[in-house]
Structure 1
């Protein structure tokens, strides 16, 4: 590997996030993914033939999302047949992992220009579809954790119990998410990152009238006396996002002005039963690798799979609460699984640019008890 090579993100775009059975429901995932690829070309002026690979995250790879959506998206966008594509599954972190793989390819010299992104149409391929047949996890894993259930909802209840998070605290965080997302939308904070679609121009899931009192009427979803319910959990959603990754040298040669440099990244494993607790060890590890402290980071995107996840992350990291998900999160706008990593990074990069924030950090819990963590640095 050439020591002088770096990896930069030139641009990042996303679709508005649609509610389940909402405005994006009729879109085929391949066609929706093609929209963000087309937008990247339009925004950067890059020739699709210059792209060495398309790496897309997608979790439920069956039905409409089978047969390698990464490759099919490039074909649907009209890109040359010579441009390959691959589809990646690291559960909810699939498109964040796609970014890490794209960066690794560029840093190693295996590629010079890569598109990383993701898509998930949970309306068309419902959550849990891949577990409908066969034996998920396999007999040896099931034997190893014989008395445990692999349930993210139950894991969220475990976190709430472990960190002393009441239902009120979780509901207050939910209201915060909706309030911040609505304010960001009204202020135009997402305008520079969204791909305009005929059927949807803004994130569809925001509930502007959400209050702790209204959330109190919702029934717990996983335990009769639990704190987790539909209102303080991420929404089931549809969406896609994509980022253009290259080197500083190649960007200059192509006349491109990057948004940010990929500074550091990691992925960790943790308890697969609690399943949601890996973002804090991932955060500690990536900060150590980067040689940075928690206060050096000006903005954090920690996926709001369930309210206890970012709240427990705050408790474990000591981060400033106002820097956490400043534009709201998945509780308000949704969590289209395989697209969420790229969506969070798109939100983070544009927020950093708009507010002149030098360092940003992203992490998200992933099924199986894993988490990616990524630090990016704004370029002048």
Structure 2
């Protein structure tokens, strides 16, 4: 089987809701990233055989197959196709995995796995309709926030526990930002905001002034007296990310140096009521498929959809949080739905390089009870 190599990985800064990207169409944001990303790698995009774009709310400005729209807006040759993937919050990790699978199978030699979401311009859930009565007769379908509350109950996580986790996410993200640790992975993007031209080069979510006291004063978000607040949930955000996957022969042809290989991939389904704990079996499955154990992994990136998702995952698998989301997670950085999976891979690769470490694992929980996981290995 052919190896699937990561030949490049980059992202935009993550904008807050109604922040720096609020006046930028998501298809244009993704196209801008792709154009700059490929330009920085200095190869002719005519060699790209597909652009696989994760996006969750595929309606309005994110409709009409945003993967193809982004490729056209990037200025790629019209021969470069594009498609769109919706596996909800893990859409762009699935896009990266689909790209890697195509290369591993020998079906393609160069594929972009990417993702984008503008939650400022396209409201989350606006693409959905009512649920089937047959579905709700079989399953207790509840909002994700209540599923996260169920995790708190089942794992005995208190308000103090999740607030402490959330404060630490901000602390790590602020340190990483101030030290420039995200600078290599972020592609500065010039956009219009309020009629003025600005360059977005820094994540807007991390707050230096986040304290336990401030978090403790926030109201319960999902049920009266509940554990979770806006402060222990991922932020509504805008952003895009891209990973270039290629074969060894194509890397040599384009004079691109492989930075890592995709060692393992997994996707699982679980109970759609508690829905957010799939990161546990997904992690177990991808490790088994990769011939690895937890102790082999140097760094983990687990999407902080809600603080208890990562906390329960850590407890069940006995994984040290000191090796997890070391530069903060979605509680601090934000969660632009369709972009988050690829963003985890981008951040994971760059942090492995900065620390001169080898193995990393990324995983995301998914609405209605699924999860995706990927292991990458620096070479």
Q: TM-score, normalised by structure 2?
A: 0.96
SS of 1:93 mapped into structure 2: helix
C-alpha distance in structure 1 between counterparts of 2:38 and 2:141, whole Å: 45
- How far 1:183 sits from its partner (Å)? 0.3
CA offsets 1:344-373 (integer angstroms, 9 cap, x no match): 110000001111111000001001110001
Aligned residue runs from structure 1 range 302-341, under 5 A: 302-341=302-341
- How far 1:223 sits from its partner (Å)? 1.4
- How far 1:142 sits from its partner (Å)? 1.6
RMSD: 0.9
SS of 2:301 mapped into structure 1: strand
- How far 1:149 sits from its partner (Å)? 3.2
Please name the residue that 2:189 is paired with.
197
Aligned residue runs from structure 1 range 104-143, under 5 A: 104-131=101-128, 134-136=129-131, 138-143=132-137
Please name the residue that 1:257 is paired with.
257
Please name the residue that 1:32 is paired with.
29
Please name the residue that 2:58 is paired with.
61
- How far 1:40 sits from its partner (Å)? 2.0
Aligned residue runs from structure 1 range 274-313, under 5 A: 274-313=274-313
SS of 2:89 mapped into structure 1: coil
Please name the residue that 1:167 is paired with.
159
Please name the residue that 1:89 is paired with.
86
SS of 2:93 mapped into structure 1: helix
- How far 1:135 sits from its partner (Å)? 2.1
CA offsets 1:300-338 (integer angstroms, 9 cap, x no match): 000000000000010011112210100000000100000
C-alpha distance in structure 1 between counterparts of 2:42 and 2:313, whole Å: 39
CA offsets 1:207-228 (integer angstroms, 9 cap, x no match): 1111111111111011111111
Given that residues 111 and 246 in structure 2 are in contact (C-alpha distance below 8 angstroms), is that contact kept between their aligned partners in structure 1?
yes
C-alpha distance in structure 1 between counterparts of 2:27 and 2:223, whole Å: 37
2:147 equivalent to 1:150: no
Structure 1 residue ranges, 4+ long, deviating more than 6 angstroms after superposition = none
CA offsets 1:238-259 (integer angstroms, 9 cap, x no match): 0001111001222112110021
Deviates more, 1:156-165 or 1:244-253: 244-253
Please name the residue that 2:360 is paired with.
360
- How far 1:291 sits from its partner (Å)? 1.2
CA offsets 1:4-56 (integer angstroms, 9 cap, x no match): x1100111110000000111100101110012211221221121100000000
C-alpha distance in structure 1 between counterparts of 2:370 and 2:43, whole Å: 35
2:106 equivalent to 1:77: no
SS of 1:129 mapped into structure 2: coil
C-alpha distance in structure 2 between counterparts of 1:323 and 1:267, whole Å: 22
C-alpha distance in structure 2 between counterparts of 1:43 and 1:262, whole Å: 22
Name structure 1 gaps, 5 residues minimum: none
Please name the residue that 1:178 is paired with.
170
2:379 equivalent to 1:346: no
SS of 1:365 mapped into structure 2: strand
C-alpha distance in structure 2 between counterparts of 1:253 and 1:319, whole Å: 40
Aligned residues: 371
- How far 1:289 sits from its partner (Å)? 1.2
C-alpha distance in structure 2 between counterparts of 1:39 and 1:262, whole Å: 24
